[in-house]
Amino acid sequence: MSQSKQQKQTIVFTTFMVITVLVSAISIGVFFYIFFNGISVLSWGFFTGVPENGMTEGGIFPAIMGTLILIVGSGLVAFPMGILAGIFMNEYAHQNWFKKFVRLMTNNLAGIPSIVFGLFGMAFFVNGLGFGVSILSGCLTLGVLILPIIIRTTEESLKFIPDDYRLASYALGASKWQTIWRVILPAALPNIVTGVILAIGRVAGETAAILFTVAAYFLPKMPTSIYDETMALPYHLYVISTSGTDIEKARPYADGTALTLLMLVFGLNLLANWYRKRLNKKIKV
């Protein structure tokens, strides 16, 4: 009796393990498929050139630059406001209905599909405020998209800081903001930065939100102002793999673009992990 009970457990647990390993195998599969197909395409010229022959060959420099611009721009929008809002949630808001309401709104904002952000950006920034399809509109849209990520990580990071620091600082005559600025924020920084990097990864890969707010189908020259459109890596990948002039011919070019995007996002994730570990170690010494 007990023997069979044990056997059953072994069988079920082994099945569970196999399924879990298969799940991880998916990510390995996707990653290596993109990697081995794309790696032969990557070259210096690929990173620095412009698309040629109806976007079937050439380089992806304008798309890389566009994505970097969007990262910086959306960061400028979301980081200050998100971090301040996170500070509000953990340091200023009292446990009342308002805080609960704000949390509810933040969680819901995080759950809204990115295409809805795209439409909102189109209706509000592009048409409503008259910014047109532009870097400005795109950065604002992406900014509100990552706002909840920043708020949550900031709040979580601040929650992690022991109250002793706050009390000790107040006891030295520091004001609330001095305490936050000089003690709490520096201590919470590693985790906040990690969240920020993950948010950047999100921006780098985001497509639906930029479709109608900033992304240009083909624009080989660099944008000159925030009212210009720009190409972006994820949108470029979408275009060349679904609606280019010659999709078959463009496959290697698309493989290279996919790998570049994947490396960018993957690199940002690695950076976030490395940074968190390094700074946490430094603080614990």
Partner 1 sequence: MMTRKKIFEKIIEAVIYASGTATTIVVLLIVFFLFREGLGLFRQAPMQKTYTVAVHPQNPVRQLSIDQLKAIFSKKEKNWKTFGGKDQSIETFSSEDIEKHLKGQDLGEAFSKLKGLVTTYAQNKENLVVVMPKKFMPNKFVPIPTEHMSIGAFFGGKEWRPTSEPIHSFGVLPIIAGTLLVCFGALLFAIPTAIIAAIYLVEIANKKVRNIINPFIELLAGIPSVIYGFFGLVVIVPFIQKTFALDMGETALAGSIILGIISLPTIITISEDAIRSVPRELKEASFALGANHLQTIFKVIVPYALSGIVSAAILGVGRTVGETMAVLMVTGNAAQMPSSFLDSVRVITSTVAAELGETAQGGIHYRALFMLACVLFILTFWFNLLAEWIVAKKTQK
Partner 2 sequence: MSSQNSLSDQNLSLDETAKNMTSEAKIITRNLDFFYGDFQALKNINTQIDAHTVTALIGPSGCGKSTYLRVLNRMNDLIEGAKVKGEVLIDGQNIYDKKLDINELRKNVGMVFQKPTPFPKSIFENVAYGLRVNGMTENIKERVEKSLQQAALWNEVKDHLKKSALGLSGGQQQRLCIARTIAIQPDIILMDEPTSALDPISASQIEDLIMELKERFTIIIVTHNMQQARRVSDKTAFFYLGDLEEYDETPKIFESPASEKTQNYIRGKFG
H/E stretch holding 57: strand 57-58
- CB-wise, 55 or 224, nearer to partner 1? 55
Interface residues for partner 1 in 234-273 (CB under 8 A)?
234-235, 237-238, 241-242, 251, 254, 258, 261-262, 265-266, 269
Q: What is the DSSP letter of 60?
A: -
Nearest-CA neighbor of 257 among 237, 232, 230, 240?
A: 237
- Using CB under 8 A as the binding rule, whether residue 165 contacts partner 2 is answered as yes
d(CA 130, CA 138): 13
Residue selected from 173, 224, 225, 242 as contacting partner 2 according to rule CB under 8 A:
173
Say what angle helices 185-205 and 233-242 make with each other, to 10 degrees: 20
Q: Is 24 in the site for partner 1 (CB under 8 A)?
A: yes
Binding map of partner 2 across residues 125-164, x = CB under 8 A, - = no contact: ---------------------------------------x
Smallest separation, CB 208 to partner 1 (Å): 4
Backbone angles phi, psi at 94, to 5 degrees: -85, 165
Torsion of CA 243, 245, 251, 252, to 10 degrees: -130
Contact status: 220 vs partner 1 (CB under 8 A):
no
230 strand-pairing partners: 215
* Closer residue to partner 1 (CB): 111 or 162: 111
- The per-residue b/e assignment along 25-61, b for 16 or more CB within 10 angstroms, e otherwise, is eeeeeeeeebeebbeebeeeebeebbbeeebbbbbbb
Beta carbon nearer to partner 2, 65 or 189: 189
Within residues 73-112, the interface with partner 2 by CB under 8 A covers 94
Q: Number of residues in contact with partner 1, rule: CB under 8 A?
A: 86
In the range 174-233, which residues lie near partner 2 by CB under 8 A?
174-175, 178, 182-183, 186-187
Binding mask of the shown chain, residues 101 to 140, with x at each position contacting partner 1 by CB under 8 A:
xx-xxxxxx-xxxxxxxxxx-xxx--xx------------
Distance CA 122, CA 124 (A): 6
| Residues in contact with partner 1, shown as a per-residue x/- string from 43 to 72 under the rule CB under 8 A | ------------------------------
| Nearest in space to 261 (alpha carbons), one of 210, 223, 218, 206 | 206
200 in contact with partner 1 (CB under 8 A): no
In 3D space, the residue among 35, 38, 29 whose CA is nearest the CA of residue 255 turns out to be 38
Among 1, 23, 26, 171, contact with partner 2 (rule: CB under 8 A): 171
The minimum distance between CB 168 and partner 1, in angstroms, equals 19
For residue 156, with 0-12 CB atoms within 10 Å meaning exposed, 13-18 middle and 19 or more buried, which class applies? Answer: middle
Least gap, CB of 165 to partner 2 (angstroms): 6
Q: Which is nearer to partner 1, 20 or 48 (CB)?
A: 20
Residue 26 in contact with partner 2, rule: CB under 8 A: no
Bridge partners of residue 58, in order along the sequence: 51
Q: Which residues bind partner 2 (CB under 8 A)?
A: 94, 164-175, 178, 182-183, 186-187, 282-285
